[in-house]
Structure 1
Amino acid sequence: MPKGDKFIALTIYLKKCGMDELKMSFSEIEKIIGFKLSDSAYSYPAQWSNSESQSFAFGWLNAGYLTRQVNISEQTVEFVREEVYNSRKRENVSKRVTQPKMATLPVADAIRCIRTYFNETVKDTHGRYLSWQHCYNAFILNRSNVDENTFDYLALHLAFYLASWGMYRGSSFLLQKDYKVHIPIVKIIMEKQYNPLVGITAEELIKNKNLDLLDEVSTRIRKAYAEEMPSFNGVINNATDTLVTKILLGTLGCVPAYDRYYVQAVKQYGISTGNYHRESVKDVAKYYLTYKDDFEIVRAELSLHGAEYPTMKLMDMCMWQVAFEKNK
């Protein structure tokens, strides 16, 4: 079956409507396609992404439309013609948030670094850069599944992603464990109370209620590992900031990974202190908002290839590449 045939009725409807943009309710779409949308479509904006990895998207992509905004609470989605969307991108007339005085990384350099990193991702179809995409997609697509088999499956994904990015090296307590050590962490992350953190926008990330959730889930991850049998006699398993944030990036997409390169870059350009706490997370979100129009253009482009890239993944890619090039 060609991609999108299941949603051909939506494609036909959009082609016939002739509108540059339109807003539709989920129930209207269900009437057009003749069956009920998935539970995930009612719960996660990522299910409405313009990514070709999801057959659902071909319902509007094949008609020449893109989704622009999804409102889960109102159960509505806005569609816009692709040529109209691209024209508005070029105009780039939206107002910008005032740039923080200390941030000195030019947006042109930031975007170039994001693109360079992404080009490395797609260069090798089996490269380690793709391990984030595989892990993140697995967690996004299975958030409504809470059975033991799913937890086991996601723990295996998480383990391989972490191994790809150096979390099983030498002195790490994880080196002495099998992948099932991550199952308690997976169960925590999959709790519904953390849904607001999934692919969170920069605007939402600076809100205290969401920073509270971030603090809570980080603390619980550390505690869960500490409660496992020590890998080394008398030494409690210590989940470092790097490990915790790599987990959050690979499963919820809500913070950058605070590894050596990220910390180096944000400190060098005065974006944040580089220590993992709510204020530093808020600082990088504010940097994103400073150049939101520019970053959203590249985010939309990247999200057409395999995954809906959250804002904090872009910041992770950017800072990692900045420091990597500096250290060459």
Structure 2
Amino acid sequence: MDKKQQEALEQHPIVQTVIEYQNGVTDGDAGGFAEWHSFREFYQKWMRSETDRSRYPDDYANLRLAVYLAAFGMYRGSGFLRRGTHAIHQRAWSVLDRESLAELQDCDFQTAFNKAGQISDLVGKLTTAYEPLKSRSRSAVKEGIKPAADQCDGSPLSPEQDALKTLTTKVVLGTVVCLPAYDAYACFAVRKLGIGPPKTDVSGLERLFGFALEHQREFEAAAKEVGNPPLIRVLDMYLWRIGAVDAEKKSATRKEESEKWRATEKETRELKRGPIRTKNI
């Protein structure tokens, strides 16, 4: 463990940080937790039972996926998913409807490490399934719609790369649960922990799951504190919370700086005006 990672772990202890995430859910700060549970159960039943598949038409499955993604913020603002209907998710189901994914379902860190190639391939196929969104993203940029800013470091997100990575990894998190969601918060956390660039290629995933394996006991202890969800979900909670804490600190700093600037401007204006003179009657 290098110094950077040690400092980050001291600042964000795994068990305590995951509990903070759970407490945030209770307080309404981390939306989507209940919807994640609901959608995951729907997906597992849908995969196991032909009866459930015949009961729920494709359009309903698309709608459930859209609702889950909306709960995780993928339909907010000028997000590219809002430029189409929930039918855009139909191609994703063709990727998720595979018996070969059963061994990845709710897998532990060791399995995820060993199957990093298969997980990377799954993300790649989902990216291809959502390929039409790339043209929509380009159109949005031409129309002057700015890409969303990374709330953690202020850098702009590429509509064609980062947004699709966030989308596909959130789909994986809600279905197979073999990979955390790589949103802005999680990507920031991966860098802060010294794991390396937050990539979904084989080497990037091996670095991520290698880190998780090194701290498996802490993640298992954290899981017991929050209802024993799959370990990958606990890892996702941990990464999200690190990024959220940093964003909160930066937001507070910006607010404080803004208030100081306003106070200084007010004082400057008053000095320029000078004392208020009153007429003698």
Q: Within the alignment, does 1:118 sit opposite 2:22 as a pair?
A: yes
Q: Give the whole-Å Cα distance in 1 for the aligned partners of 2:83 and 2:121.
A: 27
Percent identity, please: 23
Change (3 A) 1:109 1:178: same
Deviation at 1:150?
Answer: 5.3
Partner of 1:157: 64
Within 5 A, what are the aligned runs for 1:302-317? 302-303=226-227, 309-317=229-237
Query: With structure 2 as the length reference, what TM-score do the two structures score?
Result: 0.69
Q: How many residues align?
A: 223
Alpha-carbon distance between aligned partners in 1 of 2:164 and 2:121, rounded to the nearest angstrom: 15
Question: Is the 1:155–1:179 contact (alpha carbons within 8 Å) kept by the matching residues of 2?
Answer: yes
Alignment of 1:208-247 (within 5 A): 210-227=115-132, 231=136, 238=160, 240-247=164-171
Answer yes or no: is 1:132 the counterpart of 2:36.
Answer: yes
Match of residue 175 from structure 2: 251
2:184 corresponds, among 240, 250, 260, to 260
Matches within 5 A, 1:61-210: 99=1, 103-104=5-6, 105-106=8-9, 109-123=13-27, 128-146=32-50, 147=53, 149=56, 151-207=58-114, 210=115
Amino acid at match of 1:121: V
Q: Which has the higher contact order (CA 8 A, sep 6+)?
A: 2
- The unaligned stretches of length 5 or more in structure 2 are 141-158, 249-281
CA apart distance, 1:155 = 2.2
Q: Which has the higher strand share?
A: 1
- Displacement of 1:242 after TM fit? 0.8
Distance 1:100 1:186, change over 3 A: farther
Render the CA deviation track for 1:192-232: whole Å, top value 9, x for unaligned. Answer: 0111221111011111xx22221222122122222579547
Offset from partner CA, 1:48-75 (integer Å, 9 cap, x none)? xxxxxxxxxxxxxxxxxxxxxxxxxxxx
Secondary structure of the corresponding residue to residue 254 of structure 1: coil
Q: CA RMSD of the aligned region, Å?
A: 2.9
- CA separation of 1:229/1:280 partners in 2, compared to 1, >3 Å: closer, same or farther? closer
Q: How does 1:45-56 map to 2 (within 5 A)?
A: none
What amino acid maps onto 1:218 in structure 2? V
Conservation of the 8 A alpha-carbon contact between 1:284 and 1:315: no
- AA in 2 matched with 1:217: L
Q: 1:231 to 1:201 in 2, by over 3 A?
A: same
User: Normalized against structure 1, the TM-score is what?
Assistant: 0.60
By percentage of residues, which structure has more helix?
Answer: 2
Q: Any unmatched runs of 5+ in structure 1?
A: 1-98
Q: 1:206 to 1:101 in 2, by over 3 A?
A: farther
Given that 2:196 and 2:207 are in contact with CA atoms closer than 8 Å, whether structure 1 keeps it comes out as yes
